[in-house]
A and B are shown apart, each in its own frame.
Chain A
Amino acid sequence: MTPAIDIQRAWRIYETAAGYTPALRGVSLTVARGEFLAIMGPSGSGKSTLMNILGCLDRPTAGSYRLEGIDVTELSEDDLAHVRASRLGFVFQSFNLLPRATVLRNVMLPLVYSDLPPRDRELAAWRALRSVGLPEEHYLHRSNELSGGQMQRVAIARALVNDPSIIFADEPTGNLDTATGEMVMRTFRRMQRRGKTIVLITHDPEVAAWADRTVHIRDGKLFSDEEERRYLAELAEREERGEKGGDAAGADATATEPSATSAGPRSFSPAAPSARRARLLGVPAL
């Protein structure tokens, strides 16, 4: 069986006024069907870019991406829309519900772009809402009358309603308190048990702990859990040595940027952290 996600050596380079900015630098990742994967990374690490590409909202500048065996880099914009409508579900940090529409209408929204006949839509929406455990008395409320946790459950129901095989969740608990967040995560686990592949993006290790596997993204590159631990250990060690390491990093930053490039996509060289990386991790750069 082909993996749900198979992305190889993917680059995403943005053209900005300042020049070319690589957001992903040769990312390779395989996600099996039915797997619950968490992608962790600080802000600016490229995790949103990766999520957009995995979710077929954006295309890699270079590299290959097969989604359930389909080479989506070759598809037109409208074909990508069809892939999203039929195979993918999205859960956003800020829920992105239509505030004036009822809960039921919100959940039915993706079906407008699917082939499901109108008479079956309401039933599908009911099923999705029941599966996320939202009490029925809310179904005809306007979505802006709900609490944050309820809204996110509506959003998850919306992601489920077209019976997708993969669900992408971008910081789904970011705007929720701990208890509500836990409830949402439990919902994701339940979805996984029903055979959905789940890709979760977060910066919170406790949230990531719900997943089967966690990968880390920093400066547009992916690292395994083990690599990440080693990196953090090195970092802590350097901090113990005092500010000297920080100074060295600052001096290095102006020279060759990522020595990691020459050492291969997955390797990591703690000796030459970029100024940006150092800054993001709270290490004084200068």
Chain B
Amino acid sequence: MRARDLAYETSSALLANRARTLLTVLGIVIGIAAVIAMTALIDGVKAQLVGQLGLNMSRTVNITCWPPGNQPLDQDDIEEIGTALASDYEFVTGFTYTSAQASSSTASLEYLNITACEPEYFQAMGYEASRGRLFDAEESAEGDMVVVLGGSTVKNLFGSPDADCVGQTVRIGSSQYTVVGVVNEGFTYDNDTCYMPAETAVTRLIGQGGYASWQILGFAREGSDMYAVADATEAYLHDRYGIPWPEEDQTSFSSDEGYVYVQTAQALIDQLDATTATFRMLALAVAGISLLVGGIGIMNMMLTNVTERIREIGLRKALGARRGDITGQFLLESVTICIVGGVIGIGVGYGGAWALAAVAGSALGSMMGASGAISPVISASTVAVATGICVGIGVVFGWYPARRAAKMDPVESLRYQ
């Protein structure tokens, strides 16, 4: 039997019994829509979480290293480390935290948390300016008096989060700085932050040789195995500073012996995956049950179909149909129903996910630790898996009726009334 013949037989058989076909398709639509809606919602929550944590840069490595003898890293050390690890990283950039009193023309803050960093820091963290711009390499090198504010700082210094602050001046410590932009940190921390060039902070706030604990952000080369990069970095730092490797179950570290702590965003994302996987399993179990019901609907329909067409099966066999021809004909009917149901179900599921997100998205999100509105995410792999499931259901639940048809005795089926 040729493909064209099969297609003709299938379409004419399915169209001959429109109502029944439609109802069976509906069963699959509901099942697949449930799978897609759940997956899209959970992926949406996950994307939200990743975005909030500023971890959409999965190539970022957070390196904390405390050499032995209570002597923190300085910027020269970081430069050397960057050179040594150049094969693993596109760049490494140092940053440190400090704090100072700050004020605008209208309000003042007792503690402004200041991150002293290079422009690469923003790239590694995946931060972008929500207004104005971030400071650039030239300003950073020159130690210009510029500052980028975090969301809550804008609110607390200028009255509202949307206040027009770009181009304004703020006093931090004893100097005046120009606000060049507002950074979107993803998460809306409520802990008044700002970012200024490291050079500026060292000159104006920390003081040359002043006490600062420098940390490192590394941005791994594209396509790196993040775990391998982290391991190599850890090994290098242990070796460079002669820091002893921690014991298996060691939880506290002494600054006398020194310590190395290398954390990749990948590890955090994996951890996030593990969390969402639980929800995914739960949601898929529910969706799976509705798919099972849809599948049973298909089997039921196909069994009725076979019984109704026993004489036709007998006739076809008498005219020379092989078992495989009959199996193929009936199997294609059930697979077609599933694929049609699946395609519609993917659309309905995606729409349903948006509807669900609007109604209960933030509740679901906060259950998993995300905040704010959830945008459902539908990925190519979800669609591929759903399509695969459809074909699978069609084959699994269509197999028994199709084989039953194929094994019928032509004599008996021709005689069947």
**Interface of A with B (CB < 8 Å)?**
52, 55, 57-58, 77-78, 81-82, 84-86, 90, 92, 96, 98, 100-101, 109-110, 112-114, 118, 158, 162
Contacts and interface: CB of A to CB of B under 8 A. Distances in A.
B324 A78 contact: yes
Interface stretch (B255-263, B313-321, B347-355, B393-401): B313-321
Given A52-B411, A118-B2, A78 B322 contact: yes
- Tell me if B's interface is mostly helix, strand, loop or mixed: helix
Chain B CB within 10 Å — which of A78, A92, A113 has the most?
Answer: A113
B277 interface: no
A160 B4 CA distance: 23
Contact of B1 (A86, A96, A98, A112): A112
Given A96-B414, A113-B325, A57 B319 contact: no
Chain A CB within 10 Å — which of B317, B318, B319, B410 has the most?
Answer: B319
Contacts of B228: none
Contacts of A58: 409-411
Contacts of B12: 100-101
A57 B323 contact: no
Contact of A110 (B2, B9, B319, B414): B319
Contact of A109 (B311, B319, B322): B319
B322 A96 contact: no
30 contacts: A52-B411, A57-B317, A58-B411, A77-B322, A78-B322, A78-B323, A81-B317, A81-B320, A81-B323, A82-B320, A84-B318, A84-B320, A85-B320, A85-B321, A86-B320, A92-B414, A96-B311, A96-B315, A101-B12, A109-B319, A110-B319, A112-B2, A113-B1, A113-B316, A113-B320, A113-B325, A114-B320, A118-B4, A118-B5, A162-B320
A162 B321 CA distance: 13
Contacts of A158: 319
Contacts of A112: 1-2, 5, 9, 321, 325
Given A58-B411, A100-B16, A118-B4, A110 B311 contact: no
Given A77-B322, A112-B321, A118-B5, 6 more contacts: A57-B411, A81-B317, A90-B319, A98-B312, A112-B9, A113-B322
Nearest to A90: B318
A92 B311 CA distance: 12
A57 B322 contact: no
A109 B315 CA distance: 10
A234 B324 CA distance: 53
Interface residues of B, number: 24
Given A101-B12, A118-B4, A113 B411 contact: no
A92 B411 CA distance: 12
A82 B322 contact: yes
B320 to A, nearest CB: 2
A113 B318 CA distance: 11
A57 B410 contact: yes
Interface in B118-149: none
Contacts of B317: 57, 81
Chain A CB within 10 Å — which of B5, B315, B317 has the most?
Answer: B315
Interface string B248-267: 00000000000000000000
Chain B CB within 10 Å — which of A58, A77, A81, A85 has the most?
Answer: A81
Nearest to A52: B411
A267 to B, nearest CB: 30
A78 B411 CA distance: 15
B323 A109 contact: no
Nearest to B4: A118
Chain A CB within 10 Å — which of B9, B318, B320, B323 has the most?
Answer: B320
A268 to B, nearest CB: 28
A262 to B, nearest CB: 31
A111 B324 CA distance: 16
Contacts of B324: 78
B182 to A, nearest CB: 69
Contact of B318 (A57, A86, A101): A57
Interface in B290-334: 311-312, 315-325
A58 B1 CA distance: 23
Contact of B316 (A78, A86, A109): A109
Chain A CB within 10 Å — which of B12, B311, B318, B321 has the most?
Answer: B318
Nearest to A82: B320
Interface string B1-39: 110110001001000100000000000000000000000
B323 to A, nearest CB: 6
Q: Across the A-B interface, give the 6 residue pairs with the lowest CB-CB distance, nearest first.
A: A85-B320, A113-B320, A110-B319, A78-B322, A84-B320, A81-B322
B15 to A, nearest CB: 10
Contacts of A84: 318-320
Contacts of A101: 12
Contact of B320 (A52, A96, A110, A118): A110
Interface string B269-306: 00000000000000000000000000000000000000
Nearest to A53: B411
Nearest to B317: A81
Nearest to B325: A113
Nearest to B410: A57
Contacts of A109: 315-316, 319
Contacts of B5: 112, 118
B367 to A, nearest CB: 54
B318 A55 contact: yes
